[in-house]
Structure 1
Amino acid sequence: MPYHKNKQQAFQAAQQGYEQAIDANETRLQSVDQADYGKELAHLTQEVNEAYQQIDKALEVASEHQYEQLKQYQNQLTQIMSELEQ
């Protein structure tokens, strides 16, 4: 049972990290023409990096369904970061 609990906790941490990164991206998008854009961009980068780390940890113990969801999170974060580079 501890293994299942760790699996669920890892998934929930990754999910929360993903949601925080998405929120940070929304804030960044709202601040595009404002003075604090650079700060919001740095915050987004930090949140995405933390989310990537949490997702990587969760992928190690994820169930098949969780694995698919985590991969979607990872792909969406990658898409956000690639949009920044354009």
Structure 2
Amino acid sequence: MPYHKDKQQAFQAAEQGTMEAKEWYDHLVRDQADYGSQLKHLKQEVNEAFEQINNAMEVASETQRLRLEQFRTDLQTIVDEVNEIQ
């Protein structure tokens, strides 16, 4: 596979992972009976997204790196906010 496709696919995986984690966070309802289950899934999504970002950073262009750093910041905000709730 050509190098530029690897870069693009890695970036897209990181972007998608971040979006999925954000969606889980947006739908997290603390007072629901399955909050613990939701929280566990959110943590899984966030961890996977961080891993995808780290993988993408290895091959990213400078422009992609800036976006990946923003994804990382967004995920860290989610982690911080969830930790405040608990």
State if a TM-score over 0.5 links the two structures. yes
TM range (shorter): over 0.9
Q: CA deviation at 1:27?
A: 1.5
Residues in 1 aligned to 2:59 and 2:7: alpha-carbon distance in whole angstroms? 6
Normalised TM-score (structure 2) = 0.93
Q: Select the structure that is richer in helix.
A: 1
Aligned-pair identity in percent equals: 54
Cα deviation, 1:22-53, whole Å, max 9, x if unaligned, reads 1110111xx22110111111010000000000
How many positions carry a matched residue from both structures? 84
Aligned to 1:63: 61
Cα deviation, 1:26-82, whole Å, max 9, x if unaligned, reads 111xx2211011111101000000000000000111111100000000011001101
Normalised TM-score (structure 1) = 0.93
Aligned to 1:34: 32
Unpaired stretches in structure 2, ≥5 consecutive residues: none
CA-based RMSD of the aligned residues comes to: 1.0
Q: After TM superposition, what 4+ stretches of structure 1 lie above 4 angstroms from structure 2? A: none
Unpaired stretches in structure 1, ≥5 consecutive residues: none
